[in-house]
Amino acid sequence: MTTDTPALLQNYLAGRWQAGSGPGTLLRDPVLGTGLARVSSGGLDLAEGFAFAREQGGRALRALSYRERAAMLAAAVKVLQANRDAYFEIATANSGTTNRDSGADIDGGIFTLGYYARQGETLGDARFLLDGDASRLGKDPAFQSQHIMVPTHGVALFINAFNFPSWGLWEKAGPALLSGVPVIVKPATATAWLTQRMVQDVVDAGVLPAGALSVVCGSSNGLLDALEPFDLVSFTGSAETAALIRSHPAVSAQSVRVNVEADSLNAALLAPGTRPDSEVFKLLVGEVVREMSTKSGQRCTAIRRVLVPAELYDAAAEAISAKLATLSVGNPRNKDVRMGSLVSREQLDTVQAGLARLRAETDLLHDGAGHALVDADPAVAACVGPTLLGTRRPQDARLVHEVEVFGPVATLLPYASLDEALATIRRGQGSLVTSVYSDDATFIADAALELASSHGRVHAISPDIAALNTGHGNVMPMSLHGGPGRAGGGEELGGLRALGFYHRRSALQASAAALERLAAGGHRIAG
318 as an active site residue: the answer is no
Q: Which stretch of DSSP H or E encloses residue 307?
A: strand 305-309
Residue 393 burial by Cβ neighbours in a 10 Å radius (0-12, 13-18, 19+): exposed
Distance CA 47, CA 38 (A): 23
Catalytic choice (171, 217, 261, 287): 261
Other beta carbons within 10 angstroms of residue 40's beta carbon come to 21
Amino acid at 396: D
Residues contacting residue 472 through CB under 8 Å, at least 6 positions apart? 266, 268, 287, 290, 291, 301, 303, 433, 435, 459, 461
For residue 261, list its beta bridge partners: 236
Distance CA 501, CA 237 (A): 19
Q: How far is CA 129 from the centre of its chain?
A: 26
291 as an active site residue: the answer is no
Catalytic choice (217, 291, 300, 491): 300
Tell me whether strands 267-270 and 431-437 are parallel, antiparallel or unpaired.
parallel
Distance CA 91, CA 34 (A): 14
CB 167 within 8 A of CB 105: yes
Distances (CA, A) of 178 to 4, 107, 319: 41, 20, 46
Going by C-alpha positions, the residue among 496, 15, 500, 502 that lies closest to residue 213 is 15
Going by C-alpha positions, the residue among 111, 93, 196, 198 that lies closest to residue 474 is 111
Which residues belong to the active site? 261, 300
